[in-house]
């Protein structure tokens, strides 16, 4: 019987194959006290050695299949095993509480998993999976349980699992593993990142796939839409989907190296990548990104146990700017608070942290902390074109005083004889409706705008972006949002400034024609969306997108706007 489910499309592609249920024997932690402490400590050490050996060979396999950078995850895993603080905690529990080895590891790992898991930022949340992956392997060795070997799969399958750990993902041979479908996980999990590198279609966050699909079933998955069908009723539908996907993929490949130009020859739009850390630059360049339109600098602060020093930040920014090799890098100053917390700094308790003490409101209040970041950014600007961008600007005073502070830091550096770049631009995010409405005045002071639609939409619709109950209000195509975009873009242009967008909307295929018509200059998105946006632009004339935008601005609803876009794109 066919059965349809929908999850999160985590790695594009279509696959149809037999189900392989990855059902590891669950770990049961024995509660009994240790009788021989030395023996327990020795057991941990020998298991660590075995796990490290596994990680070494996994790293070698991954290096060959995924490249050096992706394989580095296993080095990170090995460093978790080598962490002296963790080892001390194991020893303390065994010596002081008489815990057996497995229980000690379980207890300590739970603490770290909980710590990472409690972080709201998706990237850090996923790091909990790394600790879990490593410590579960260790516990399996301690308890003398089998450790699964996925590399030995030798017929075409789709893996169905609760979750796939990074080490399991790295073992998959794309020749046989055609895809995977998991109950948990999202687009930023390691499994998803690796699946994209291996080009294996994956659907995650399915919740009930493990209890629904059985060994012997045939599974069809669409890694772009997240659609899954167990025992598909009409295989030809899936064959057609697969054919279309492969054709599109082949067509998009050429756009990695093409220039960004519309059908009628307009070549001023630029397509850029959003990054969260220096290692993300490679994907931006590989996909033909013409710059970095948003570097979320939070990672430097969140992946740390102290406010990063000027020097630590300078090294990270300099790396990105140098790697971009003359292309523009827009770095956003610390956007902390709201959902993003720091383990080493207590933000005040507030009823509505998203509307509270965060981002520019925090940094301008704590100039001691802000100074280090601004100085690091200014120093990095000596290595290539840099845009410094302030998040969550609501008033002209906020922007003007943040810019003044930046210029003071610049003067300070120059006085010290430290080089600062000549191509420095100082701009702002437009993510609060008040800023969009007043854009024309902001443009007198700011060098550029970058619209953060993720927040602009949540604040315009009064709909918390973290709440699953109000996701229907995330409406990028609502005419009210389009009108705010028009005010922002026109405001910038009136004063000869450029307007970009770095929220998710910029990379939405349906949004691109509208944004072109509204005159948006820079489009910053996840690296893998760049080729699609470039292909869309190549199929459209500027005039037809302008007509589209004009009609869209007169619409009443989101669906009317989408109908217009689909009508225009239907014969392209
Ligand atoms: C946005 O709000 O659209 C944005 C790009 O910033 P973030 O998603 O980091 O809040
Ligand atoms: Mg934002």
> Which residue, among 252, 222, 279, 269, has the nearest Cα to 72 in the 3D structure?
279
As a dihedral over the C-alpha atoms of residue 235, residue 239, residue 245, residue 246, rounded to 10 degrees, the angle is 150
Q: Give residue 57 CA to ligand 2 midpoint distance, Å.
A: 40
> Which residue in the list 306, 502, 555, 566 is annotated as catalytic?
502
Q: What is the pLDDT of residue 528?
A: 83
Question: What string of DSSP letters covers 413-472?
Answer: HHHTT----SS-EEEEEE-SHHHHHTHHHHTTT-SEEEE-HHHHHHHHHT--TT-GGGGG
The last residue of one of the domains, among 208, 231, 254, is 231
Substitution site in 274, 332, 431 for ligand 1 pocket (most atoms within 8 Å of beta carbon): 431
Q: Which ligand approaches the C-alpha of residue 451 most closely?
A: 1
Same-domain status, 117 and 172: no
Q: Is residue 123 pLDDT above 70, yes or no?
A: no
Ligand 2 mean position, distance from CA 195 (Å): 27
Nearest bound ligand to CA 340? 1
Residue 536, token pair as written in the block: 């869309």
Concerning whether 190 is annotated as a catalytic residue, the answer is yes
Taking residues 507-525, report their average pLDDT. Answer: 96
CA of 3 to the centre of ligand 2 (A): 38
What number does the ligand 1 atom closest to the CA of 505 have? Answer: 3
Task: For residue 286, tell me if it sits in a domain.
Answer: no
- Compare 87 and 58 and report the one with higher pLDDT: 87
Determine the residue of 124, 336, 391 to mutate for testing ligand 1's pocket, defined as the one with the most ligand atoms within 8 A of the Cβ atom: 391
What is the distance in A from the centroid of ligand 1 to the CA of 453?
7
Question: Looking at the domain assignment, is residue 254 inside a domain?
Answer: no
Most confident of 25-39, 55-69, 403-417: 403-417
When pLDDT is cut at 50, 70 and 90, the band that residue 564 belongs to is very high
239 burial level (CB within 10 Å; 0-12, 13-18, 19+)? middle
Task: Give nearest CA residue, ligand 1 atom 3.
Answer: 452
Do both 223 and 330 map to the same domain? no
Write the DSSP symbol of residue 348: P
Q: Give the count of beta carbons closer than 10 Å to the beta carbon of residue 109.
A: 22
Please check whether residue 124 lies inside any domain of the structure.
yes
Of the three residues 84, 107, 142, the one that is the final residue of a domain is 142
Read off the CATH number of the domain in which 17 is found: 3.50.30.10
Mutate to test the pocket of ligand 1, among 432, 455, 506 (most ligand atoms within 8 A of CB): 455
Domain count, the chain: 3
Distance 335 CA to ligand 1 centre (A): 9
* Candidate list 190, 493, 555, 566, residue with the active-site label: 190
Determine whether the annotation assigns residue 229 to a binding site. Answer: no
Classify residue 246: in a domain, yes or no.
no
Q: Are residues 191 and 103 in the same domain?
A: no
pTM tops 0.85, yes or no: no
Angle CA(197)–CA(200)–CA(206) in degrees, nearest 5?
Answer: 115
- Which atom of ligand 1 is found nearest the CA of 338? 10
431 marked as part of a ligand binding site: yes
C-alpha neighbours within 13 Å on the C-beta side of residue 72? 4
- 184, 103: one domain: no
Predicted pLDDT at 187: 66
Nearest ligand, measured from the Cα of 294 = 1
Q: Closest residue (by CA) to atom 6 of ligand 1?
A: 452
Site to probe by mutation for ligand 1, drawn from 452, 457, 522 as the one with most ligand atoms within 8 Å of Cβ, is 452
Band (pLDDT 50/70/90 cuts) for residue 468 is low
pLDDT tens digits along 297-338: 987 898 788 999 999 999 999 999 999 999 999 999 999 987
What's the CA gap between 518 and 500, in Å, rounded?
11
In whole angstroms, give the CA distance from residue 446 to residue 438. Answer: 12
Q: How confident is the model at residue 1 (pLDDT cuts 50, 70, 90)?
A: low
Strands (E), 33-165: 157-161
Residues 297 and 206 in one domain: no
DSSP string, 299-346: HHHHTSSSPPPHHHHHHHHHHHHHHTTTSEEEEE----BTTB-BTTB-
Task: Tell whether residue 454 is among the known ligand binding residues.
Answer: yes
Ligand 1 probe mutation, 296, 330, 353, most atoms within 8 A of CB = 296
Q: Is 255 part of a structural domain of the chain?
A: no
Please tell me the residue having the least CA distance from ligand 1 atom 1.
452
Examine the domain organization and report whether 400 and 416 are in the same domain: yes
* Together in a domain, 449 and 376: yes
What is the Cα gyration radius of the chain?
Answer: 25
Distance 338 CA to ligand 2 centre (A): 10
Ligand 1: nearest atom to the Cα of 454: 3
361 is an annotated ligand-binding site residue: no
User: Which protein residue's CA is at the shortest distance from atom 9 of ligand 1?
Assistant: 296
357-385 residues labelled b (16+ CB within 10 A) or e (exposed): ebbbbbbeeeeebbbbbbbbbbbbbbbbb
Model confidence at 422: pLDDT above 80: yes
The mean pLDDT of 271-289, rounded to a whole number, is 92
CATH label of the domain that carries residue 58? 1.10.274.10
Which residue, by CA, sits nearest to atom 4 of ligand 1? Answer: 452
Are 327 and 455 members of one domain? yes
pLDDT class of 57 with cuts at 50, 70, 90: confident
Tell me the ligand closest to 293's alpha carbon: 1
296 is in an annotated binding site: yes
- Shared-domain flag, residues 127 and 270: no
Residue 423: give the domain boundaries. Answer: 265-277+293-527+542-569
Q: What is the pLDDT of residues 80-119, one digit of tens each?
A: 888 888 889 999 999 999 999 999 999 999 988 888 877 7
The answer to the question of residue 478 being in a domain is yes
Residue 161 has pLDDT above 70, yes or no: yes
Give the number of other CB atoms < 10 A from CB of residue 542: 18
How far, in Å, from the CA of 487 to the mean position of ligand 2?
Answer: 19
pLDDT at 53 over 90: no
Helices (H) and strands (E) in the chain, counts: 23, 16
Q: Taking CB atoms and a 6 Å cutoff, what residues make up the pocket around ligand 1?
A: 294, 296, 335, 431, 452-455, 502-503
Residue 502 known to be catalytic: yes
Whether 168 and 97 map to the same domain: the answer is: no
Tell me the C-alpha distance between 378 and 416, whole Å: 13
- Ligand nearest to the CA of residue 454, numbered in listed order: 1
CA distance 23 to 3: 21
Give the distance between the most distant pair of CA atoms in the chain: 80
Which atom in ligand 1 lies closest to the alpha carbon of residue 294? 5
What is the distance in A from the centroid of ligand 2 to the CA of 263? 33
Say yes or no to pLDDT of 126 above 80.
no
Q: Quick one: pLDDT at residue 163? A: 86
- Residue 231 CA, ligand 2 centroid: distance in Å: 41
Could you give the CA distance from residue 387 to residue 524 in angstroms, rounded to a whole number? 13
Q: Which residue, 444, 9, 416, is CA-closest to 205?
A: 9
Contact 318, 280 (CB under 8 A): no
In a domain, 310, yes or no: yes
Please indicate if the annotation marks 149 as binding a ligand: no
Q: What is the mean pLDDT of residues 421-437?
A: 97
In a domain, 134, yes or no: yes
**Which ligand 1 atom is the nearest neighbour of the CA of 335?**
9
Nearest atom within ligand 1 for CA of residue 450: 5
pLDDT of res. 554 = 98
**Which residue has the least CA distance to atom 8 on ligand 1?**
454
Atom of ligand 1 nearest to the CA of 298: 9
Q: Give the pLDDT score at 188.
A: 60
Same domain, 113 and 158: no
- Are 76 and 176 in a shared domain? no
Give the number of other CB atoms < 10 A from CB of residue 552: 23
């Amino acid at each position: 019987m066919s059965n349809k489910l929908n999850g999160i499309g985590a790695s594009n592609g279509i696959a149809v194959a037999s189900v392989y249920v990855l059902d590891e024997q669950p770990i049961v932690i024995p509660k009994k006290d240790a009788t021989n402490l030395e023996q327990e400590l020795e057991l941990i050490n020998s298991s660590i050695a075995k796990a490290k050996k596994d990680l070494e060979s996994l790293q070698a396999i991954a290096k060959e299949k995924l490249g050096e950078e992706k394989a580095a995850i296993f080095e990170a895993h090995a460093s978790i095993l080598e962490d002296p603080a963790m080892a001390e905690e194991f020893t303390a529990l065994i010596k002081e509480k008489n815990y057996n080895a497995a229980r000690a590891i379980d207890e300590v790992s739970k603490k770290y998993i909980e710590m990472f898991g409690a972080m709201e930022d998706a990237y850090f949340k996923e790091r909990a999976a790394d600790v879990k992956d490593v410590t579960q392997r260790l516990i399996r060795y301690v308890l003398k349980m089998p450790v699964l070997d996925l590399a030995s799969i030798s017929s075409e399958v789709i893996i169905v699992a609760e979750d796939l750990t990074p080490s399991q993902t790295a073992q998959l041979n794309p020749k046989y593993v055609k895809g995977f479908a998991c109950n948990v996980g999202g687009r930023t999990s390691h499994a998803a990142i690796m699946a994209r590198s291996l080009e294996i279609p994956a659907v995650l966050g399915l919740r009930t796939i493990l209890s629904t699909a059985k060994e012997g079933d045939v599974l069809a998955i669409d890694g772009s839409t997240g659609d899954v069908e167990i025992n598909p009723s009409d295989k030809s539908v899936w064959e057609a989907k697969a054919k279309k996907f492969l054709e599109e993929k082949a067509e998009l490949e050429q756009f990695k190296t093409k220039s960004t130009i519309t059908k009628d020859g307009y070549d001023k739009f630029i397509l850029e990548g959003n990054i969260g850390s220096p290692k993300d630059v490679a994907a931006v360049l590989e996909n033909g990104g013409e710059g970095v339109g948003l570097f979320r600098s939070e990672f430097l602060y969140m992946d740390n146990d102290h406010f990063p020093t000027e020097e630590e930040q300078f090294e990270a920014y300099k790396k990105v700017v140098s790697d971009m090799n003359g292309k523009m890098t827009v770095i956003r100053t610390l956007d902390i608070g709201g959902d993003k917390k720091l383990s080493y700094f207590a933000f005040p308790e507030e009823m509505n942290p998203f509307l509270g003490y965060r981002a520019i409101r925090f940094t301008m209040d704590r100039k001691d902390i802000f100074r280090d970041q601004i100085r690091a950014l200014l120093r990095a600007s000596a290595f290539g074109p840099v845009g410094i961008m302030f998040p969550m600007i609501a008033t002209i005073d906020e922007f003007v005083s943040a810019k003044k502070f930046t210029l003071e830091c610049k003067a300070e550096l120059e006085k010290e004889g430290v080089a600062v770049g000549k191509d420095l631009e100082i701009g702002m995010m437009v993510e609060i409706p008040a800023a969009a409405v007043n854009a024309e005045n902001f443009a007198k002071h700011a060098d550029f705008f970058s619209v953060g639609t993720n927040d602009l939409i949540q604040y315009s619709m009064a709909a918390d972006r973290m709440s699953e109950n109000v996701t229907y209000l995330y409406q990028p195509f609502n005419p009210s949002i389009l009108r705010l975009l028009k005010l922002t873009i026109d405001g910038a242009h009136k004063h000869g400034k450029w307007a970009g967008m770095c929220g998710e909307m910029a990379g939405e295929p349906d949004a691109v024609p509208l944004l072109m018509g509204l005159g948006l200059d820079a489009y910053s998105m996840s690296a893998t969306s760049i080729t699609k946006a470039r292909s869309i632009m190549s199929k459209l004339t500027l005039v037809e997108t302008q007509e589209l935008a004009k009609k869209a601005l007169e619409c009443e609803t989101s669906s009317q706007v989408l109908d217009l876009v689909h009508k225009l794109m239907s014969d392209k």
